[in-house]
Structure 1
Amino acid sequence: MNILLRGYRESDLSQMTEIWNEVVEEGIAFPQTDVLDASGAKAFFASQSHCGVAVDADSGALAGLYILHPNNVGRCGHICNASYAVNSGLRGRHIGEKLVTDCMKQAKALGFRILQFNAVVKTNAAARSLYERLGFTQLGTIPGGFLMRNGTYEDICPYYHEL
């Protein structure tokens, strides 16, 4: 699989929405509880500072995506936040790593100085391992900070990386 990373195009929206909604419906990683419809997805992705997609160069299919946006405003506006989604059938192929690495480059190019993840679910071992391998620092643990799909609460671990 030959993965290329680029900014999203309007023609990507259907596949982006499908991948995004898959993660939302799993209910173990994203804070959102509602899936996106076509018009909501168009507005949501357009509102980000940057959306990157991982594309299989051979088939043209989207393998994953990320959204990048400010984490706060004003005096904290130099800190950004991002979310990543990989097609469930393609996980484990280092696509997430390519997305995070590209996101860090895009964030720096946009003038952000810090990339912060507010709510990495403690049991999301793959994401936590990736972030730590890429040099992110865990800030601590927030007990019961994430409502899982099954109704239980899981700890979250905020992370940051200076860009």
Structure 2
Amino acid sequence: MDIRIRAYDSADAQAASAVWNQVVEEGVAFPQMEILTPEEGDRFFREQSFTGIAYDAQSGEIAGLYILHPNNVGRCGHICNASYAVRADLRGQRIGESLVRHCLEKGKKLGFKILQFNAVVAANRYALRLYEKLGFVRLGTIPGGFLMKDGHYEDIIVHYHLL
């Protein structure tokens, strides 16, 4: 696969929503519980400061995506937040790493100074390893901060990266 990343387009709504919904349905990473219809997904992805689409340059198929938006407002508006989703059948091919690296660059270009993750689930060892590799700083752990799909609570770890 030749993975490239581009800006979201409304024509991506169905495929992007499907990738997003896989993560939501797994119930182990995103805080959202609601599944997006393509129409809701289109609105959601267009509302972000930036939505990046990872796609295979040869087939055009969407492999993953990220959303980037302010983490807060006003005096904290220089801090952004992001979420990443990779198609389940394509995980382990460094697509997530490409998305995070692109996001770091895009956040800086958009004028953000810091990228903060509010809720990296402690059981998400692949994400934790990637964030460590890319130089994210762990701020601390919030015990039982994430409700897993099976009903138990898992710790979350707050991170940041200077842009």
Superposition TM-score tier, normalisation by shorter sequence? over 0.9
Work out the CA distance in 1 between the residues paired with 2:38 and 2:91: 25
Work out the CA distance in 1 between the residues paired with 2:42 and 2:55: 19
1:39, distance to aligned residue in structure 2 (A): 1.9
1:10, distance to aligned residue in structure 2 (A): 1.2
Q: What secondary structure does 1:111 align onto?
A: coil
Deviations 1:19-70 (A, max 9, x none): 0000000000000001101221111111100000111011100000000000
Q: Which runs of 5+ in 1 are unaligned?
A: none
Tell whether 2:46 aligns with 1:46: yes
Tell whether 2:160 aligns with 1:160: yes
RMSD in angstroms over aligned alpha carbons?
0.5
Structure 1 moving runs of 4+ over 3 Å: none
Deviations 1:52-97 (A, max 9, x none): 0111011100000000000000000000000000000000000000
Aligned to 1:30: 30
Matched to 2:9, the amino acid is: R
Matched to 1:93, the amino acid is: Q
Q: Which runs of 5+ in 2 are unaligned?
A: none
Work out the CA distance in 1 between the residues paired with 2:36 and 2:69: 18
Work out the CA distance in 1 between the residues paired with 2:5 and 2:93: 14
Matched to 1:118, the amino acid is: N
Work out the CA distance in 2 between the residues paired with 1:61 and 1:142: 37
Aligned to 1:106: 106
Work out the CA distance in 1 between the residues paired with 2:5 and 2:37: 24
Tell whether 2:61 aligns with 1:61: yes
TM-score by length of 2: 0.99
Larger deviation, residues 137-146 vs 39-48? 39-48
Work out the CA distance in 2 between the residues paired with 1:41 and 1:146: 23
Aligned to 2:94: 94
Aligned to 1:84: 84
Work out the CA distance in 2 between the residues paired with 1:65 and 1:125: 19
Q: What secondary structure does 1:139 align onto?
A: strand
Work out the CA distance in 2 between the residues paired with 1:38 and 1:141: 35
Work out the CA distance in 2 between the residues paired with 1:66 and 1:52: 5
Deviations 1:73-131 (A, max 9, x none): 00000000000000000000000000000001100000000000000000100000000
